[in-house]
Structure 1
Amino acid sequence: EAYARAIVEAVEHWDEPDVLAEISKGLGEAMKGLDKVSDRLQLRGV
């Protein structure tokens, strides 16, 4: 819920860097990305 609220606020205040900095405080670690090679469904063309 905190991330969703932060996203909505960030979209609303996209042109206000000071507000964006305040919004992003306390959100914790960002979502981890995917490993493209290990998560590949098919190996053709590799």
Structure 2
Amino acid sequence: MFVGSGIFKSGDPAKRAAAIVKAVTNYNDPKMLAELSYDLGEAMVGINEQEIELLMAERGK
């Protein structure tokens, strides 16, 4: 399981991290997964595809 640094940009990083750990541990328990998914705050923010292209274009210069 890999969680990117975007977790720190979520509404409640500590709560989301704890939920991710519990979800991985209980991956085969749909009821637990539903409970863990509730009230986590604002979602993790991703990087815009155009930003990635720009960042990659600047590498190696």
> TM tier, shorter chain?
0.7 to 0.9
* More RCO (CA 8 Å, sep 6+): 2
Residue identity over aligned pairs, in percent, reads 42
Gaps of 5+ in 2: 1-13
Q: Which TM-score applies when normalising by structure 2?
A: 0.60
Structure 1 consecutive aligned stretches of length 4 or more whose deviation exceeds 4 Å: none
Structure number, greater radius of gyration: 1
The size of the alignment, in residue pairs, is 43
| Structure 1: segments with no counterpart, 5+ residues | none
The structure that is helix-richer by fraction is 2
CA RMSD of aligned residues (A): 1.6
Aligned pairs (5 A) from 1:1-46: 1-39=14-52, 40-41=54-55, 42=57
